Structure 1
Amino acid sequence: MAPRVLVSDKLSPTAVQIFKDRGVEVDYLPDLGKDKEKLLEVIGQYDGLAIRSATKVTEKLIAAATNLKVVGRAGIGVDNVDIPAASRRGIIVMNTPFGNSITTAEHAIALMFAVARQLPEANASTHAGKWEKNRFMGVEITGKTLGVIGCGNIGSIVAMRGVGLKMHVIAYDPFLSEGRASELGVEKVELEDIFARSDFITLHTPMTDRTRGIINKDAFAKMKDGVRIINCARGGLIVEADLIEALKSGKVAGAGIDVFETEPATDSPLFGMENVVCTPHLGASTSEAQENVALQVAEQMSDYLVKGAVSNAINMPSITAEEAPRLKPFIKLAEVLGAFVGQVTEEPIQEVEILFDGLTAEMNTRALVSATLAGLIRPQVADVNMVSAPIMAKERGVILSEVKRDKSGVFDGYIKLTVKTKSKTRTIAGTCFSDGKPRFIQIKGINLDAEVGEHMLYTTNADVPGIIGLLGSICGSKGVNIANFQLGRNKPGGDAIALLYLDAPFPQDVLAELRADPKIESAKPLHFDVAA
């Protein structure tokens, strides 16, 4: 059955056609996002939801979206999506961070010019028939210091434009490397330097708990007298009451504000101030940008629903369309390794270490880690998946570590999982052969080669004679057919394991009989989802 997508906000006809061309059924209902009750009523029918800003993807809506796999936001901001709730339900949330980068950067530059030369007030005055040439004394941009807070997609474009305007550009971003700063032609500095040195400050950072109110009364006190502030990012980055006081005192000579603490902003103290240029969140409002983000979200959602490719996801590692076929069998392997340990572990998990050896270390290990955790947690939480598993592990205080190393054995590549509880440490390793099917190659440090089946039985015992006969006779007498049988031991007379691949689930009454035999230390029936 073809996946089905609902478009509940306005997207271009070309974007809708992209869904259709890629084999996705699409219902284009651009006004439905405003009707919360109707949206709640129909959302359960859809695998994907394409939105802009009008549709609010709340926890209540997510609870009703029983088939939903992906939400695609045509634009950068996902403030209208409850990402934690979506993640807990395993719903991927995508945005389109590059489609409107240039447009937003250009708007910031435009506001900077408008503030520097008081263009809106001068325009209004001239239209009113006045000729107040001496009233509007501006400042030059050239030679001034531009402080950029946040040097990601948009901030880096603004920085380059500032360099082109012959400004001295300084930038603060915790993730900005010296190499990248040099490439952009900017000076990497600390936030305090931005405040102290800048003639113009422009914000291009996301809204987080750390960045909320980053421009406040204390920050203004550290700035030059006559600084000018530009904000095309998020309204809450600036404490508006503090900005108003700084504008009134003359500490801030002017501000260009495209975003507000509360939107839509229809009544703000900033309105009517002569040294403030306000626009109604126009950063992404060009015909080119609106078309770009619509096309991108349609392409991204289609690629995921049809091919399993993940791009620009907020809560899931990216998987390109090119790597998806190669990665798919190893994602299944990772899930199976996690599922094995999850099914034999009774105590709370404290630590998880995942070792990627050889070619697996060169793969998208973030996706493989997510798959491993999903398999590990699923025996306790049935509806967990690659999106929700990392969050659940973190919420449970699990310490996670990842190790990569070059090929170290006979296999081109394998994954080894080590899980620690309060009293035990369990290890298992596996690989995929050319047929793409997962195989166990080591359990408890004991080497073996076992095909993974839907129904299996795992036993541990001392290495003594009679185990094969015991397992075979009990299964044979109870009508349990064995498809494959693998044994392993660490040394003669030491610890041994058996792994049986069965045609059907191992019966509970037979399990009790098997566990009663003194030769068997433990016996655990296992189930694996090995479907392609």
Structure 2
Amino acid sequence: MAPRVLISDQLSEAAIQIFKNRGIDVDFRPELGKDKDALLAVIGEYDGLAIRSATKVTEKVIAAATRLKVIGRAGIGVDNVDIPAATAKGIIVMNTPFGNAITTAEHAIAMMFSLARQIPAADASTQAGKWEKSRFMGVEITGKTLGLIGCGNIGSIVADRAIGLKMKVLAFDPFLSAERARDLGVEKVELDGLLARADFITLHTPLTDKTRNIISADALMKTKRGVYIINCARGGLVDEVALRAALDTGHVAGAGFDVFVEEPAKENVLFGAPNMVCTPHLGASTEEAQENVALQVAEQISDYLMSGAVINALNMPSISAEEAPRLTPFVRLAEQLGSFAGQLTETGIRKIRIEYEGTIADMNTRALTAAALTGVLTPVLQTVNMVSAPVIARERDIQVEEVRRGQMGAYETYMRLTIVTDRQERSVAGTVFADGKPRIIQVKGINMEASFGPYMLYITNEDKPGFIGKFGSLLGEAGINIATFNLGRTGPGGDAIALLEVDGEVPAATLTAIESLPLVKQAKALKF
């Protein structure tokens, strides 16, 4: 029986035809995207679901989707899909991460011109018959400094357009290498430097714990008086209340927003602010972009349902059905080693070297490397997956090196991941034991053995008496229970590492207290 796919949002006739050409039984019912009860009633009949942003694939919908194997989102944002619920049920969630880049970049540039010349307000005034020529004094774009927060796929396109407009471009992006910055013609800076120098600031970064309210009240105080701020990326990157106050005082001369904390935004603190330009999440709304992502999602869903190929999946690695049983534990090892190293890295990455030794060297190391890169990049770019991670690494000129060799040590399989930054080189190695579970076996050249846990503490310290007692007492006083405690050192009195699994998230205050302990050099809370 042919697989059945439901399209519950607007997709083009060309996209629908792709499903038909591939032998898939497709139902085009865009009205279901806005009728959750009707969607719930029929979702159990389908193997695939193709959506845009209107359809909300909630836990309840997923529970009713008894046959569903794949959800494909035409576009990058998957805020409308409960990915953990889909993953738990074995449903693949795909997106089309690169189809909207030019369109979104152009919208940000359009916002910049609108603000610089107050075009929306001037249009409304003129059409009202007021002819207030003296009221709308603008500023030139030429010669001004543009600050990019995020210089990935979309940010780099904005940089290219801005340079063409004779602007100077600054970029803050932890993953932007010095070489990539030179190639783009931008100046790589820290965030405070960007805030102090930019005439226009535009955001092009995902919403993560690290980027939420990256433009805060404190950040706004560090900007030039008269700065313009543009957000066509994600609601929540800017503190909307703080921005409104800065617009009212004139510290911020204008702002252009296509995205908001709560959408649809029927009411918002920014509405009505001086020189505030708002659009209803139009970043991807061009005919070209909508057609591109529609065709891409149709191809991806068809590929999976007809041949098992997995492309642009957010919750599953790109591995063939034949490889999966053997490779899956090593994919998990690669991603967790990458996440371990990525969470400890705070400066721009120049190079990632991955060494495969023993039987693992004969496996699909391309998939393993993609998994490792996913782990490294996920702490900052949470929507990264095994398909997009290598592309993102290339965009940022992160050199990726694979080394494969036969067994040399005691372990039948051995994988070591090394991150090289401008300041240091850090490595972590691991293996998979007979139980199929990944283990850490070496950190920074120090041998140790530790399992990965959901919440972990990583401590570097001087190997001198007294540390463990004080450290243990501090955790006990904070009510933090230790599940496992692993130690390693270079030698008596030298550098030492403590790696612990704990039963819950470590509060920031406790982490600060740990860092203040005598002999401690670094303390980091890790999550897996």
Fold shared by both chains (TM-score > 0.5): yes
Deviations 1:198-245 (A, max 9, x none): 110001111122212111111101111110000111121111111110
Say yes or no: does 1:260 pair with 2:260: yes
User: Take 1:309 and 1:23, find their aligned partners in 2: how far apart are those partners?
Assistant: 16
Q: Is the 8 A contact 1:360 1:415 kept in 2?
A: no
- The percentage of counterpart residues that share the same residue type is 65
Which one-letter code corresponds to 2:324 in the other structure?
I
**Equivalent-residue separation in structure 2 for 1:294 and 1:335 (angstroms):** 30
For residues 418-437 of structure 1, what are the structure 2 equivalents within 5 Å? 418-419=432-433
Alignment of 1:145-294 (within 5 A): 145-294=145-294
Equivalent runs, 1:485-496 vs 2, <5 Å: none
Shift of the 82–228 alpha-carbon distance from structure 1 to 2, 3 Å rule, reads: same
Return 5+ residue gaps in structure 1 as ranges.
320-326, 339-352, 370-386, 388-402, 426-532
Structure 2 distance, partners of 1:154, 1:405, is 32
1:363 aligns with 2:366: yes
Partner of 2:106 in structure 1? 106
- Classify 1:280/1:356 alpha carbon distance in 2 versus 1 (closer, same or farther; 3 Å): farther
The answer to whether the 8 Å contact 2:357/2:405 transfers is no
Normalising by the residue count of structure 1, what TM-score does the alignment of the two structures yield?
A: 0.64
Give me the whole-angstrom Cα distance separating, in 2, the residues matched to 1:335 and 1:126. 63
Alpha carbons of structure 1 residues 420 and 218: separation in structure 2 relative to 1, 3 Å: farther
TM-score under structure 2 normalisation? 0.65
Question: Take 1:35 and 1:131, find their aligned partners in 2: how far apart are those partners?
Answer: 46
Show the 5 A alignment for 1:505-520: none
Q: Which moved more, 1:157-166 or 1:122-131?
A: 122-131
C-alpha contact 1:176 1:188 (8 A) present in aligned 2:
yes
Query: What is the distance in 2 between the residues matched to 1:130 and 1:225?
Result: 29
Cα pair 1:97 1:153 within 8 Å, conserved? no
Partner of 1:301: 301
Compared with structure 1, are the counterparts of its residues 355 and 3 closer, same or farther at alpha carbon in structure 2 (3 Å cutoff)? farther
Residues 309, 318 of structure 1: 8 Å contact kept:
yes
Q: Which residue in 2 is equivalent to 1:136?
A: 136
Residues 66-117 of structure 1 deviation map (CA, whole Å, 9 limit, x = unaligned): 2222111111111111112212222221111211111111010000000011
Taking the aligned partners of 1:112 and 1:404, their CA distance within structure 2 comes to 42
| 1:275 Cα offset (Å) | 0.9
Three-state SS of the structure 1 residue aligned to 2:433 is strand
**Aligned counterpart, 1:2:** 2
CA shift for structure 1 position 366:
5.7
Identify unmatched segments of 5+ residues in structure 2.
Answer: 332-355, 373-384, 386-400, 415-430, 440-528
Shift of 1:337: 9.8
CA-atom RMSD in angstroms: 3.0
Match of residue 478 from structure 2 = none
- Would the alpha carbon gap of residues 306 and 223 (structure 1) be closer, same or farther in structure 2, given more than 3 Å must change? same
In the alignment, is the contact (CA less than 8 A) between 2:359 and 2:406 conserved in 1? Answer: no
Contact 1:354/1:418 (<8 A) preserved: no
C-alpha distance in 2, partners of 1:55/1:108? Answer: 26
Q: Supply the distance in 1 between the matched residues of 2:225 and 2:130 (Cα, whole angstroms).
A: 30
User: 8 Å contact 2:327–2:363 — kept in the other structure?
Assistant: no
Question: Contact between 1:356 and 1:405, CA under 8 Å: does it hold in 2?
Answer: no
> What pairs with 1:279-428 in structure 2 (closer than 5 Å)?
279-318=279-318, 328-334=321-327, 357-360=360-363, 362-365=365-368, 405-408=403-406, 418-419=432-433
**Counterpart of 2:428?**
none
Query: Structure 2 CA distance, aligned partners of 1:257 and 1:235?
Result: 9
| SS of 1:406 mapped into structure 2 | strand
Pair 1:189–1:241, CA change in 2 (3 A)? same
Contact 1:207–1:237 (CA<8 Å) still a contact in 2?
A: yes
User: How many Å apart are 1:368 and its aligned residue?
Assistant: 8.6
Query: Which residue of structure 2 aligns with residue 455 of structure 1?
Result: none
Cα distance between partner residues in 1 of 2:321 and 2:61 = 31
Structure 1 position 256, deviation (Å): 0.7
Residue 45 of structure 1 pairs with residue 45 of structure 2: yes
Q: Who is 2:397 aligned against?
A: none
Change (3 A) 1:197 1:39: same
Q: Which has the higher mean CA deviation after the structures are superposed, 195-204 or 61-70?
A: 61-70
Question: How far has the Cα of 1:405 moved from its partner?
Answer: 4.8
1:408 maps to a residue whose letter is G
Partner Cα distance (2:20, 2:57) in 1 = 24
Aligned residues: 369
SS of the residue corresponding to residue 32 of structure 1 reads helix
SS in 2 for 1:84: helix
Deviation at 1:277, TM superposition (A): 1.0
The CA deviation at 1:131 is 2.5
Q: Distance in 2 between matches of 1:330 and 1:93?
A: 20
1:110-143 Cα offsets, whole Å, 9 max, x none, are 0000001111111122222222222111111111
Aligned to 2:505: none
- Contact 1:213-1:239 within 8 A present in 2 as well: yes
* Structure 1 residues 367 and 131: CA distance shift in structure 2, 3 A: closer
Question: How far is 1:406 from its partner?
Answer: 2.5
2:71 alignment partner in structure 1: 71
